[in-house]
């Protein structure tokens, strides 16, 4: 999903006045950091050249800050998120002593959120998604745990998906072509977020969507689809990604099945066969070089 981001790269982008983070948590290409800053502290985010090495950030503060950037001056209240776009200059000034948490991601994992006429705002107002992302970051930084290759992958994906969703929500709704928030899109987002959970199925999805299973199935049928089929497809895609990434060669086929939400190797084999794919063990062996 892009190049690794280190603390030094973030500090360079935040300017000479930025302090070192108090806590750091890395999950593959994503980085979470926390800070304590004094009243009047100032960060100066500088625009970066275009290219694969560009990084973006979302910062959550517990005190108001002044945001002065290419889109004008705004005040970010407590609970808001400040978007540090890789190709915009931005200055943040703290109005009081406080704390902040931030997530830093490769821009190529987020750039699809904007087009030539749509672009995320520089201050994201609180929504359940932005509040949830801030709380998740705080949890990662306050309660660090020993990560496995799979949890690294899963947290990276969750952070990227949540950041993408938060930025998408901030795109002005009056812009022609802005995406509508349809129930079926929310259902697909939930499936993508929870596809690795083997116990998550159509009944659980309907419960989270606050609708009956029959209504959920009718909603998908209107688009010539079925929620069970789409969820199975997402799990197959996840298993394929894990089998195709050398970083997960230490996982057995049984572990791949479990981490992809398919529970057992036989269920994984049936799912692959149903899509006309090579058996999982064969798919991995064909990728791995002969010793």
> Which pLDDT belongs to residue 3?
56
DSSP the chain: ------HHHHHHHH-TTPPPPSEEEEETTEEEEEEEE-TT-EEEE----SSTT-EEEEEEESS-EEEEETTEEEEE-TT-EEEE-TTS-EEEEESSSEEEEEEEEEGGGTGGG--SS----SEEPP-HHHHHHHHHHHHHHHS-----HHHHHHHHHHHHHHHHHHHHHHS-TTSTTPPP--HHHHHHHHHHHHTT-TT--HHHHHHHTTS-HHHHHHHHHTTT--HHHHHHHHHHHHHHHHHH-GGGTTS-HHHHHHHTT--SHHHHHHHHHHTTPPPHHHHHHHHSPP-
* Model confidence at 166: pLDDT above 50: yes
Residue-wise pLDDT for 210-252, tens only, equals 999 999 999 999 999 999 999 999 999 989 888 888 878 888 9
Q: How confident is the model at residue 16 (pLDDT cuts 50, 70, 90)?
A: confident
> Which pLDDT belongs to residue 181?
57
pTM above 0.85, yes or no: no
> Which pLDDT belongs to residue 154?
81
Q: How confident is the model at residue 143 (pLDDT cuts 50, 70, 90)?
A: confident
183-287 fold:
Arc Repressor Mutant, subunit A (1.10.10)
Parse the chain into domains and list their residue ranges: 7-146, 183-287
Q: Which two tokens stand for residue 102?
A: 């931030």
Across the chain, what does the average pLDDT equal? 85
> Which pLDDT belongs to residue 223?
93
7-146 fold:
Jelly Rolls (2.60.120)
Of the chain, the percentage scoring pLDDT greater than 90 comes to 44
Across the range 124-130, mean pLDDT stands at 86
> Which pLDDT belongs to residue 53?
78
Across the range 40-69, mean pLDDT stands at 89
Across the range 169-177, mean pLDDT stands at 55
> Which pLDDT belongs to residue 288?
61
> Which pLDDT belongs to residue 174?
36
């Amino acid at each position: 999903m892009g190049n690794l981001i280190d603390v030094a790269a973030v500090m360079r982008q935040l300017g000479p006045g930025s302090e070192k983070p108090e806590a750091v948590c890395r999950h593959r290409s994503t980085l979470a950091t926390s800070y304590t800053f004094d009243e009047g502290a100032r960060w100066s985010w500088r625009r970066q050249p275009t290219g694969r090495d560009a990084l973006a950030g979302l910062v959550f503060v517990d005190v108001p800050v002044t945001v002065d950037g290419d889109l004008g001056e705004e005040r970010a209240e407590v609970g808001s998120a400040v978007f540090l776009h890789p190709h915009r200059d931005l200055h943040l000034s703290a109005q009081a002593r406080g704390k902040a948490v931030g997530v830093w991601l490769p821009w190529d994992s987020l750039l699809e959120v904007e087009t030539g006429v749509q672009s995320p705002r520089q201050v994201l107002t609180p929504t359940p998604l932005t509040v949830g992302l801030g709380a998740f970051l705080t949890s990662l930084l306050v309660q660090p745990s020993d990560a496995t290759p799979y949890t690294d992958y899963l947290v990276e994906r969750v952070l990227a998906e949540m950041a993408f969703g938060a930025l998408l929500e901030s795109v002005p709704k009056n812009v022609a072509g802005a995406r509508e928030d349809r129930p079926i899109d929310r259902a697909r987002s939930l499936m993508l977020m929870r596809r690795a959970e083997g116990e998550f199925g159509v009944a659980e999805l309907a419960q989270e969507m606050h609708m009956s299973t029959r209504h959920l199935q009718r909603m998908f049928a209107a688009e010539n689809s079925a929620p069970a089929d789409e969820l199975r497809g997402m799990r197959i895609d996840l298993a394929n990604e894990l089998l195709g990434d050398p970083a997960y060669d230490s996982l057995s086929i049984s572990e791949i099945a479990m981490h992809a939400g398919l529970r057992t190797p036989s269920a994984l084999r049936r799912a692959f066969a149903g899509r006309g794919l090579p058996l999982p063990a064969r798919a991995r062996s064909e990728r791995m070089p002969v010793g």
